[in-house]
Chain A
């Protein structure tokens, strides 16, 4: 179905036929615009940005490129096309027709799932709002803004579900999503990782690379949901999320590329010398990776979770690629491995698979991150630089789950508090590291020019040249 742009709220859900819902969303819309004006990207309201806007959800329609002022971006409600005869594909309700309305008994659980997912969307916009002042190029600035408007659209997607299916509670949750603020002491965002700062572009790229990848896996698990409107919403969001992952993965890869080029050119791997040459030494990039990996790992929650088990059994949230897995989709009687700390040792144990679904999703995410790290590692290999990035142990720097309260080295060795205090600065960015990275963050906005620490991309957006004027300041 085409997206109806003549309406106040672009949508492909035939909003006009449900006047109550339409009015509710129209009342929410000014609040959203106000939030964007206050908490969206700073000093960007009048710039023309070369953005991708969805005009329909079919393959050919959802990637239309043109200059747009961000406040004029057509945020709207887009669901992936309905799948004829779709069923609940796992859990106790397997085989029933997928639900078009919220089943009464799962109402509060589903609301919580949607609110938690929805809260991350405006949170990341808030975390990234200062970054425009220090962009390494027009190309990167445009990518930041594209990520921002799409996070805004993801908020719309979740608020639509709340308004359409959760009545007054849903509307109140919709308001609260605009009221919480990332990092606010009194009214913070729900998840810890979304209250961290995104102070520089290395952090931004790491965030989009790793934390948005958590988004991908959460959305993929929700796309399996028996609640069909949630499934369809998440499926369309996944196509947008892919761009965010690309921005992060290629952003870090370009930083690695630039550092390696300078290493080869100056025949040095001395961090001090490299820093003086305006690039980020590879060990510092590894530290950022360790930090973001561990903080994001916590987002999956405790390894053993009865909540996750009931989400699954009740058909609300599936496994990653549930319908591609060939088993009975009930998990009855099957086991899954997890790691625990017992008597000063990290050990592998087994438990009921259905209780370990958080851990399973985390494992799927870890393999995906690892595959991307393998691609990063091709960059130094190609330039003959002997350095490989590695993922730290799953227990490293964890605050949630079975590793919380323990100190685990990146190699997986259990350590004392003293050892940790002594060593952790070798593994995670220190204040000095962050200050150095911050010192590189000059603003570069001449078309085709890039900051000293990052290589140009292999190709531009939508086949435009790299030196295309992706953002016009007015």
Chain B
């Protein structure tokens, strides 16, 4: 397999040749001629000293390249603009880990059979790193998303991949391998976590991604049991190294064509892919590509809802947000399915719109209720869910991941 690496490049279209970067670089990796400023792949050691002083952002550009053939200085000096990002076929060598296939099958069972990604989804890279040959990521941040008094400890974790290419798309997952061995001395198995940041990084154009991870303290039946991997991840500190494999996921991907809409229904940490997709759209708002975003998000209370603050601050013209809280003292319990019914007209309009793609993510328990609500809404509008579902699937418009 070709080893992909990141190459630091300067965008000649934006660079104003102020010389600040060359002046700043402590190891003389940057030079120029009368035309362009260029970074020497062999010298640059990723200290990033040049990044913040650049007045234009031209310095802040990267391309994934084969390690054996980075862009040479001679080539860079002839550029008028940066080469396009190579959308090479995914080098998905070898088999997916069994555990990933098993978990994916369970997670996607709710959509009623296999499906394909939206026709305008970007091509995903999968399985670039395996449990046997993982990549080491560095923790750049870990903060609690839920209020201090909340029963759930949900965390926002940012991982950085340094100079190693780890391309992900919104809706994909990565595997984390906790350190240590089990009682029998075998390496511990990986756990899958959905990526919560858009494809160009939690911090745009940095080689990083975010995860939304809930500290597991009980099993499915509610008996106390500490989740080994989730506790490991939730306890990570800035600077810690983590073994990562993946990326995984080839169908739960967002549409990219202008005018496409997204209907998102989630609970708890099922919000991770929704956040990624929403953030992708938010960063592209200025392009005015059209399409709507509609979100139904359930949690016990506002305090327990990850990203509650940021979500309420999103512009109304970007996204229609609907919260359902089931444990607010003095108020009746509300679930996402009730909200769906309440907003039946808009939901029906989106179900009927060939350009709207539907994503459901969260606990297994929500699946039945949501599907029932969708069935009811169809009936009220003279449509038949039983007929609609296969059509949605055939059009790659219905995607479920529940756990």
A interface residue numbers (CB < 8 A to B) = 59-60, 62-63, 216, 238-239, 242-243, 245-246, 249-250, 368, 371-372, 375, 378, 448, 456, 458-463, 465-467
Contacts and interface: CB of A to CB of B under 8 A. Distances in A.
B371 interface: no
Given A458-B13, A463-B205, A62 B282 contact: no
Contacts of B50: 59
Interface residues of B, number: 29
Given A461-B57, A467-B285, 16 more contacts: A59-B49, A60-B52, A216-B18, A243-B55, A245-B16, A245-B18, A249-B16, A250-B14, A372-B16, A375-B16, A378-B13, A448-B286, A458-B13, A458-B14, A463-B205, A465-B286
B60 A463 contact: yes
Contacts of A466: 286
Given A63-B52, A458-B14, A467 B204 contact: no
Q: What 5 A-B pairs have minimum CB-CB distances, sorted nearest first?
A: A242-B18, A59-B49, A63-B52, A243-B55, A246-B55
B49 A246 contact: no
A59 B24 contact: yes
B338 interface: no
Residue among B14, B18, B60, B285 with max Cβ neighbours from chain A (10 Å): B18
Interface in B40-55: 48-50, 52-53, 55
Interface of B: 11, 13-14, 16-20, 23-24, 34, 48-50, 52-53, 55-57, 60, 80, 203-205, 282-286
A296 to B, nearest CB: 17
Interface of B is mostly: loop
Nearest to B20: A242
Contacts of B16: 242, 245-246, 249-250, 372, 375
A62 B282 CA distance: 29
A448 B288 CA distance: 10
Contacts of A59: 24, 49-50, 52-53
Contacts of A62: 52-53
Contact of A465 (B19, B34, B57, B285): B285
17 contacts: A216-B18, A242-B19, A242-B20, A242-B55, A243-B55, A246-B55, A371-B34, A448-B285, A448-B286, A458-B11, A458-B13, A459-B14, A461-B57, A463-B60, A463-B204, A465-B283, A467-B286
B286 A456 contact: yes
Contacts of A238: 20
A462 B55 CA distance: 9
B285 A246 contact: no
A239 B53 contact: yes
A372 B57 CA distance: 17
Contacts of B55: 242-243, 245-246
Chain A CB count within 10 A is highest, among B16, B24, B57, B204, for B16
Given A245-B16, A463-B205, A60 B56 contact: no
Nearest to A139: B286
B282 to A, nearest CB: 7
A459 B34 CA distance: 24
A230 B322 CA distance: 59
Nearest to B61: A459
Contacts of B283: 465
B20 to A, nearest CB: 5
A371 B35 CA distance: 8
Contacts of B24: 59
Nearest to B52: A63
A239 to B, nearest CB: 6
A79 B205 CA distance: 31
Nearest to B50: A59
A95 B19 CA distance: 27
A459 B57 contact: yes
A271 B282 CA distance: 37
Contacts of A458: 11, 13-14
Q: Which of B24, B34, B55, B205 has the most CB of A within 10 A?
A: B55
A466 B287 CA distance: 10
Contacts of B14: 250, 458-459
A243 B57 CA distance: 11
Nearest to B54: A242
A371 B34 CA distance: 8
B301 to A, nearest CB: 29
A368 B18 CA distance: 10
A242 B282 CA distance: 30
Given A242-B18, A372-B16, A458-B13, A63 B53 contact: yes
A274 to B, nearest CB: 23
Contacts of B23: 239
Contact of A463 (B11, B19, B20, B57): B57
Contacts of A465: 204, 282-286
A462 B203 CA distance: 10
Nearest to B15: A375
Nearest to A382: B80
Contacts of A250: 14, 16, 56
Contacts of A371: 17, 34
Contacts of B48: 60
Contacts of A462: 57
A459 B283 CA distance: 11
